[in-house]
Amino acid sequence: MADSLRTPFLKGSSKEEEKEESYIVRLEEKSEEGVSDSGDFCRRYLTESRKLWAIAGPAIFTRLTMYGTNVITQAFVGHLGDLELAAVSISITVFVGFNFGLLLGMGSALETLCGQAFGAKKYHMMGVYLQRSWIVLFVVSLLLLPMYLFATPILKLMGQSDEIAQLSGTLAVWFIPQHIGYAFSLPLQRYLQSQLKNAIIAWLSGAAFIVHLFLSWLLISQFEMGIVGAAITLNLSLWLPLIGQFLYVICGGCPLTWRGFSREAFVDLWPFIKLSVASGVMLVLEIWYYRVLILLTGHLKNAQVAVDSLAICMNINGVEVMIPLGFLAATGVRVANELGSGNGKGAKFAVIVAVTTSMVIGLLFWVLILTFRNDFALIFTQSAIIIEAVSKLAYLLSFTILLNSVQPVLSGVAIGSGWQAIVAYVNIGCYYVIGVPLGVILGWVFHLKVLGIWAGMISGTAVQTLVLIIITYRCDWDREAAKAIERVNTWSSDAPSRTLLK
């Protein structure tokens, strides 16, 4: 790529590029230490495990801090009153949750493209892909704005009381800066993650979490700014690390992959849009699946105990699922890197290591939930009725956690391989054709209530996991590697491009 493509920050940065290349080589050499030509399985496993955890560890930490900011906000708002807590919970769950899921999925297209480009050493295209993703996600975020602007009438149509709908609608407007920020932060995180720069994401997320805790105390408790203060703290907890990551990139942190803003970002947008949409649909169907469980449970007769006990189980599941979601990210990057470098067997082995590692962790939590099924509800409540209800649901919770230790990893395989469109159809069939109807039948027709609803939906997850296992097992990895190389070569351009910044 010509020098004219660089921003003013990077002019004359050949030394930085050489340093970056040597850093990547050192990472690869370190990862290959101790791997014998005979292909000793244990050494290969440990080597791949190091690569996997180098991505998964920071990814898990980042997801926990992001999840923690919402928990902290709801904890502070809960002391303001039931109405305020309900408004914040609904705004985060319904509007922020849906739009975040869609933008997260669309941003994950970069895990396919940037991961494969990094493996193929087409480093300059990673910055172009990042800019294309910014363009696409920003336009989509603008198209989704009416959900925030008309939140009050939407909630009234959904059956919410006027009081809750009005307050939630006011709060939703305050969440617009966070919504727009997702369009830039989610692609940026995947861009950095794909080139193994996970530490900067984790450090900035940790710092933002501490700042969020302090600002929540200051604005909500001390300055008594109420739910507006809560919205401001959530906005800042997103934008502060976003600004830090952006400055890291443009000020020389990624000299090989960032060559400045380029008009090439506006080329070949249609295939990029198709992959982004497929990724978005795939992940948002997964994210919303268990939200449907809570919605259906709320329509049961005398649903208060059922909803409260289910909410406790979902909180436990929500924290634990951050681990397999970290492995989802790591698996996507590892598979994409290996396929991009033409190493189909390496991609297959990365899948084996990721699945077995996540399953071991899932089995550990499965045992813990079953062992302490009568006690873990005490963290949230002293009600004997709810504790007993949670104890009954603990069996379903344990199997949900066990399935979630495999299913997200296989979704990561799909992302790394570019199978998002296929998996989107699988998710529709397994989740919404099998899982939800079966849950309704078991819950209402067979009068099993929340146990039946959840059991039916677990069945949908089990079928989806089985289908993904079959697809992954039958995969011709050498062919996938050839397709990845073809994709990288088709979408990349080694010709000099003109920059928008000179």
Q: What is the pLDDT along the chain (502 residues), one digit of tens a residue?
A: 333 334 443 444 566 666 666 655 554 554 444 444 445 888 899 999 999 999 999 999 999 998 889 888 888 888 888 788 778 878 887 888 889 989 988 998 898 999 999 999 899 899 999 999 999 999 999 999 999 999 999 988 887 788 888 999 999 999 999 999 999 999 999 999 999 898 999 999 999 999 999 999 999 989 999 899 999 999 999 999 999 999 999 999 999 999 999 888 898 888 889 889 988 888 888 878 877 776 677 667 766 677 778 878 887 888 888 899 899 999 999 999 999 999 999 999 999 999 999 999 999 999 999 999 998 888 777 888 888 988 999 999 999 999 989 999 999 999 999 898 899 899 999 999 999 999 999 998 998 888 998 999 899 999 999 999 999 999 999 999 998 888 888 776 554 443 333 3
Q: Which two tokens stand for residue 451?
A: 């146990």
CB atoms within 10 A of CB 478: 15
Could you give the count of Cα atoms lying within 13 Å of 468 in the half-sphere of its Cβ?
A: 32
Q: What is the number of structural domains in the chain?
A: 2
227 and 288 assigned to the same domain: no
Could you give the count of Cα atoms lying within 13 Å of 185 in the half-sphere of its Cβ?
A: 22
Q: CA-CA distance, 467 to 427, in Å (whole number)?
A: 10
230 and 336 assigned to the same domain: no
User: Inter-axis angle of helices 226-248 and 198-215, to 10 degrees?
Assistant: 160
68 and 171 assigned to the same domain: yes
455 and 332 assigned to the same domain: yes
77 and 194 assigned to the same domain: yes
Q: CA-CA distance, 416 to 355, in Å (whole number)?
A: 14
Domain's final residue, options 212, 238, 267: 267
| Within a domain: 1 | no
How many DSSP H helices and E strands does the chain contain?
22, 0
418 and 302 assigned to the same domain: yes
179 and 291 assigned to the same domain: no
Could you give the count of Cα atoms lying within 13 Å of 259 in the half-sphere of its Cβ?
A: 25
Domain's final residue, options 267, 302, 329: 267
DSSP conformational letter for 38: T
Q: What is residue 308's predicted lDDT score, i.e. its pLDDT?
A: 76
Q: What would you report as the CA-atom Rg of the chain, rounded to the nearest whole angstrom?
A: 23
- Which backbone phi and psi does 262 adopt, to 5 degrees? -130, 145
* Of 206, 215, 256, 249, residue with least CA distance to 234: 215
291 and 381 assigned to the same domain: yes
CB atoms within 10 A of CB 428: 14
* Of 210, 225, 207, residue with least CA distance to 76: 225
Q: What is residue 230's predicted lDDT score, i.e. its pLDDT?
A: 92
230 and 333 assigned to the same domain: no
Q: Which domain holds residue 215?
A: 13-43+61-267
Q: CA-CA distance, 148 to 155, in Å (whole number)?
A: 11
